[in-house]
Amino acid sequence: MGTPELARASLEELLKQTGFQVVGVVTQPDRPSGRELKVTSSPVKTLALGHNLPVLQPERARDEAFIEQLRQWQPDLIAVAAYGQILPKFILDLPPHGCINVHTSLLPRYRGAAPIQWAILNGDSETGVTIMKMDAGMDTGPIIVQEKTPISEEDNAQTLHDRLAKLGADLLVRTIPDYVSGRIKPTPQPSEGVTYTKKIKKEDGLIDWTQPARMVSNRVRGLVPWPGAFTRLPDSNELLKIWEGRVASNSAAPGSILRADKEGILVACGEGAFQIQSLQRQGGRRMAVKEFLAGNNLLAGQAFK
């Protein structure tokens, strides 16, 4: 059971294995996507159909017809990764070995939505994947196994997502045989260190230049590709999306442009400065600073809003 690219990685790895059989796939219904709002299948559905697997797409996981179809598959185990719906108890109890979930954080830290983004936004030095046995709570089930990975200064939410997707897929297929055989026993999550994350919204991308440059950098890196970190051009309300940059040293009034040249746009923060290296005008395309400045005159002393 899963929907986006992260779940697709787990399904792809499961399909490579000879020790167990994928009997069917459950994913979210086709949704409008992109600027043209074209109805699009999920990455998981596309992969499943390519392997001639039966696919169920209930609007609600409590739908009785869906439950009956799921029961007819007689699954021994249900693997879940970013499915997008809360599973009711009668689904959790349906397979003999229960439902196990691929969660992209080191639980109990970052239960809930967007754990990848918040790990970067909060400046964490490491994160990881947890395989847990699901219960009725929000990511509260006992831990089967975990694996860590460092978060580097070069990581953004997209690169970290891709690494965790692969890490989770590999860990899932390695864990299932030992879990099903009883060689691995799930252990309750510790009561210390519990945190919950909120869903990322578009307005979370607005840069507060009074924050330290390190936090500005975390916001830029943590919100790639959506919604992206953004500011407003001097003397205008036009949004400017910041794709890439780095922390630098300098000081002035927060938001002030200290320098704008081919090396980057250096902007003062509440502490230190942030050098913008690639960006995108509202309605335009991503470009390097050198190309942007060829058609946009930014001067030292102007300030982003």
Q: How far is CA 61 from CA 7, 48, 102, in A?
A: 17, 19, 18
3-state secondary structure 33-51: ECCCCEEECCHHHHHHHHC
Q: Chunked in runs of 10, what are the mean pLDDT values of the chain (305 residues)?
A: 98 95 97 87 98 97 95 98 94 97 98 97 98 96 98 97 98 98 97 95 97 98 97 91 94 93 95 97 94 92 93
- Rounded Cα distance between 267 and 276, Å, is 8
Tallying the residues shown for the chain, one arrives at 305
Q: Which residue has the tokens 């902007």?
A: 267
Query: What are the residues whose beta carbons fall under 8 Å from the beta carbon of 193, sequence distance 6 or more?
Result: 108, 109
- Rounded Cα distance between 266 and 264, Å, is 6
pTM summary value? 0.95
The pLDDT value recorded for residue 237 is 83
